[in-house]
Amino acid sequence: MSDRLIIFDTTLRDGEQAPGIALSPDDKVAIAAQLARLKVDVIEAGFAASSPGDFEAVSRIASEVRGPVIASLARTHPDDIDRAADALRAADRSRIHVFISTSPIHMERMLRMTPVEVMKAAVEGVKRARKYTDNVEFSPQDATRSDPQFVIDICRAAVEAGATTINIPDTVGYATPDEFVEMLSMVYRDVRGTNEDVIISTHCHNDLGLAVANSLSAIHAGARQIEGAINGIGERAGNTSTEEIIMAVKTRQDQYGVEIDADTTEIFETSRLVSRLTGYPIQYNKAVVGRNAFSHESGIHQHGVLRDRETYEIMDPESIGHRSRIVLGKHSGRAAFADALEKMGYTLEDDEFARAFGRFKELADRKGEISEEGLRAILDEDTDASPDKIHLVGIHLSGGNQEIPVAVVRIEQAGVERDVEAEGDGMVNAAFVALQDAFGIPATLVDYRVSPLTAGADAIAEVNVIIQVGPETYSGRGLSTDVVEGSARAFVSALNKAMVVHTDAFGDTS
């Protein structure tokens, strides 16, 4: 058996299915380029048939990103497979990932197909995909709630039809490590037993917090591909976290005994980029990449680490690219700012640089010092100055807990400024109502988070919001030393995303 473990990253497909994440094709190309620097083996770039945006993202990644195999998901429908193949045409190496559900509940309630029909569709789907590429993955969706014998039979049929990777998804995060090992061992014996070139893979969800444990346990059962997403994002509680798998396999080589090609020093940057572009904050105590992952609070721990880092650290922060702190102050000029960006690995166009520098000066004047984390947040704030977007010029608030709070927002679109006033049941709510009126888009706030990026009463706050407009959700992020202003900036960023889709439905917003 090969000692190489294939890292298959699905941040851009399953990860992007997390509520509120809507990455543009440009964002997806930026993440894919970073995943290539991380040296994952396979990038699942999207589900080409699911939307024109996904098709564009998969095609652009296939033509612009070199190194990893580029994959697209596809149902067994002929159109899905043709669309995936079309999007992948420019890739050096491509993979079509064909899936169909195999559990009784999915077959009966969702697909309304019999097992015989499902089997036939799987075989036809894999055969069709093989006409386009010799790299075809097959997944029996909801495998862990399926009849194990049916999973074996359909996977064997898929291998006979030409599948080169058999992926076993724990779609609803239901399996325990012992059960998962049992299922994977069966698949290894009865499916790979018929063709030793087939790679057995895992794809786990985290509903019970077991995704990483299940995936790692499968290595002992012969799995040689693990699917995951950066920061563990994905449907519901998310997917296996790619960076946790990479670091577990590297740190516990004695246990897993498999080699990977990943460049661990790119983990930190990849994690921060995904967080910034998706608008999903990283849990403070998240393994490997959380901001507390290498912090030591108690005196005993600090004392130990000062004597010898390994007393309380099993990984070297530098090994994941957690580099030393950069701090810029309000007196720092363009050269220092450019130098910091270069050290952090950013290259900006002139206009982007000018906007980012302007925002940096604005915040540094109020706050004094801006840390590396603050700089990253500034760089990722939505400062797109395109004329079709609505920009926040200013916000005026009045009222308090004795009077009805009122917000007047001044917005600008294509050079024209106007004021919109609204009342709310709090300052943040008043700003939100005024901005909805300004955009002409009725929205519901479904998630709202404020995180301090710096310490002190004048801290820079990062506000992350998720709004719902119709059935869709949109994320936004804003920064300020003032929470209401930061919130308004986050609402504007989310509403601008919604506006691209909803202007026709709610009328001209200009």
Residues at the site binding ligand KIV, with contacts judged by CB under 6 A: 14, 73, 99, 139, 141, 169, 171, 203, 205
Q: Given the rule CB under 5 A, which of 8-16, 320-328, 411-419, 488-496 is the region that contacts Zn ion?
A: 8-16
Q: How far is the CB of 75 from ligand KIV (least distance, A)?
A: 9
Neighbouring C-alpha atoms within 13 Å toward the C-beta of 64: 17
Q: How far is the CB of 301 from Zn ion (least distance, A)?
A: 37
* Residue nearer to Zn ion on the CB measure, 14 or 54: 14
Q: Given the rule CB under 5 A, which of 11-19, 126-134, 286-294, 497-505 is the region that contacts Zn ion?
A: 11-19
Residue 138 site contact among ligand KIV, Zn ion, none (CB < 5 to 8 Å, cut-off depends on kind)? none
Q: How far is the CB of 132 from ligand KIV (least distance, A)?
A: 19
Give the whole-angstrom CA distance, residue 315 versus residue 313.
Answer: 6
Residue 201 site contact among ligand KIV, Zn ion, none (CB < 5 to 8 Å, cut-off depends on kind)? none
Q: How far is the CB of 163 from ligand KIV (least distance, A)?
A: 13
Give the whole-angstrom CA distance, residue 324 versus residue 335.
Answer: 19
What's the one-letter identity of residue 247?
Answer: M
Q: Given the rule CB under 5 A, which of 13-21, 26-34, 259-267, 286-294 is the region that contacts Zn ion?
A: 13-21
Q: How many CB atoms lie within 10 A of CB 147?
A: 12
Is residue 170 near Zn ion by the rule CB under 5 A?
no
Q: What are the beta bridge partners of residue 6?
A: 225
**Is there a contact between 103 and 146 (Cβ–Cβ < 8 Å)?**
yes
Q: Which of 141, 124, 17 is nearest to 80 (CA)?
A: 124
**Is there a contact between 286 and 297 (Cβ–Cβ < 8 Å)?**
no
Q: Which two tokens stand for residue 21?
A: 């994440």
Distances (CA, A) of 119 to 124, 160, 256: 9, 12, 34
Residue 491 site contact among ligand KIV, Zn ion, none (CB < 5 to 8 Å, cut-off depends on kind)? none
Q: How far is the CB of 88 from ligand KIV (least distance, A)?
A: 17
Q: Which two tokens stand for residue 449?
A: 């988070």
* Residue nearer to Zn ion on the CB measure, 14 or 269: 14
Residue 272 site contact among Zn ion, ligand KIV, none (CB < 5 to 8 Å, cut-off depends on kind)? none
* Residue nearer to Zn ion on the CB measure, 25 or 234: 234
Q: How far is the CB of 232 from ligand KIV (least distance, A)?
A: 13
* Residue nearer to ligand KIV on the CB measure, 72 or 487: 72
Give the whole-angstrom CA distance, residue 144 versus residue 377.
Answer: 40
Residue 139 site contact among ligand KIV, Zn ion, none (CB < 5 to 8 Å, cut-off depends on kind)? ligand KIV
Give the whole-angstrom CA distance, residue 18 versus residue 237.
Answer: 9
Give the whole-angstrom CA distance, residue 76 versus residue 394.
Answer: 51
Residue 141 site contact among Zn ion, ligand KIV, none (CB < 5 to 8 Å, cut-off depends on kind)? ligand KIV
* Residue nearer to ligand KIV on the CB measure, 97 or 272: 97
Q: Which residue of the chain is nearest Zn ion when measured via CB? A: 14
Query: Could you identify the residue written with the tokens 């300004």?
Result: 438
* Residue nearer to ligand KIV on the CB measure, 14 or 380: 14
Q: How far is the CB of 143 from ligand KIV (least distance, A)?
A: 8
Q: How far is the CB of 74 from Zn ion (least distance, A)?
A: 14
* Residue nearer to Zn ion on the CB measure, 179 or 362: 179
Is residue 44 near Zn ion by the rule CB under 5 A?
no
Q: How far is the CB of 234 from Zn ion (least distance, A)?
A: 6
Size of site (CB under 5 A) for Zn ion: 1
Alpha helices (H) along 313-421: 334-343, 350-367, 372-380
Residue 99 site contact among ligand KIV, Zn ion, none (CB < 5 to 8 Å, cut-off depends on kind)? ligand KIV
Q: Which two tokens stand for residue 381?
A: 């704030």
* Residue nearer to Zn ion on the CB measure, 223 or 375: 223
Give the whole-angstrom CA distance, residue 273 versus residue 267.
Answer: 10
Q: What are the beta bridge partners of residue 9?
A: 43, 228
Give the whole-angstrom CA distance, residue 113 versus residue 193.
Answer: 29
Q: How far is the CB of 174 from ligand KIV (least distance, A)?
A: 11
Q: How far is the CB of 44 from ligand KIV (least distance, A)?
A: 9
* Residue nearer to ligand KIV on the CB measure, 205 or 272: 205
Give the whole-angstrom CA distance, residue 277 versus residue 287.
Answer: 20
SS3 130: helix
Is residue 14 near Zn ion by the rule CB under 5 A?
yes
Q: Given the rule CB under 5 A, which of 12-20, 294-302, 348-356, 408-416 is the region that contacts Zn ion?
A: 12-20
Among positive and negative, which fits the CA dihedral 408, 411, 415, 418? Answer: negative
> What radius of gyration do the chain's Cα atoms show?
24
Q: Which of 161, 170, 106 is nearest to 136 (CA)?
A: 161
Q: Which of 224, 125, 213 is nearest to 167 (CA)?
A: 224
Q: Which two tokens stand for residue 195?
A: 């063709």
* Residue nearer to ligand KIV on the CB measure, 90 or 105: 105
Q: Which of 156, 216, 218, 213 is nearest to 185 (CA)?
A: 218
* Residue nearer to Zn ion on the CB measure, 205 or 391: 205
Binding stretches for Zn ion (CB under 5 A): 14
